[in-house]
Structures are given as C-alpha cells and as structure tokens.
Amino acid sequence: MANLGKARIKAKAKKGIVTVKAMAKHPMLSYQEAKKAKKKADFITHIMATVGGKAVFEVSTSQFLSKNPYLKFQFAGEKGQELELSMATLLGEKKSFKAKIK
C-alpha cells in the first residue's frame, strides 16, 4: 500500500532566508474517514527537513492535516544548497525528497 506519493518542493533563498513551500501527496485518512471508506487509517506522522545533515524543520503531525498536506516554513540558508525532506507515515512508509535551493 503506497499511499505516500510524490512531493512538490519549492525552496527559494532571499537575503539568507530560505522559504520552502512543499506539498506532499497523501490521502491523510483519519480514523473516522477510514472507517467510512472501509480502509485502513493512514496519515503522515513525521516530516523533517535537513540541509547538509542539519535539521532545519521538523514536525510531528496527526490525522487532521488536510489531504495532500501543504507546508510552508523558513530557515536561514543559502542558495545552491540541497534540501532533503523526509516523511514517515503511520503505516511505516518512509520517503525522502530532494530539492535544490534556488
């Protein structure tokens, strides 16, 4: 069961501050919704962003994020670095995505 799809990441640097907009593809089935759809509940539980091995953003999430969750966050960084966004879901799926900071 692969609920976790591709993610779209945009990272832009301006005056030393990087703004990241990311959208993950995931149905984010809460327990209630899953019961109705007769599916297993599944949602993203943990998202972490790192640059050069250093954590710049981290969130533990629940089932009340919207479907295909969208995130926006900022951190101090420079152009040309590589951002890695990793996600984990309730059913144990793990994926990471890479994007260059522009």
Partner 1 sequence: MNRRNFLGLGLGVAAVAMVPMSLSAVDFRATKPVAWTATKVDAAIKELYGTTATTESGVKLKAPDIAENGAVIPVSVSSDLAGKTVTIFQDANPEATVAVFTVPTGGIIDYSIRIKMQKTGTVTAIVEVDGKLHSASKLVKVTKGGCGG
**95 near partner 1 (CB under 8 A):** no
Q: Which is nearer to partner 1, 31 or 96 (CB)?
A: 31
Q: What mask, x for binding partner 1 by CB under 8 A, covers residues 27 to 66?
A: -x-xxxx--x--------xx-x-----xxxxxxxxxxxxx
Q: Residues touching partner 1: how many (CB under 8 A)? A: 33
What are 70-73's contacts with CB under 8 Å, separation 24+?
A: 70/21, 70/22, 70/23, 71/20, 71/21, 71/22, 71/23, 71/24, 71/47, 72/19, 72/20, 72/21, 72/22, 73/19, 73/20, 73/49
Q: Which is nearer to partner 1, 6 or 72 (CB)?
A: 72
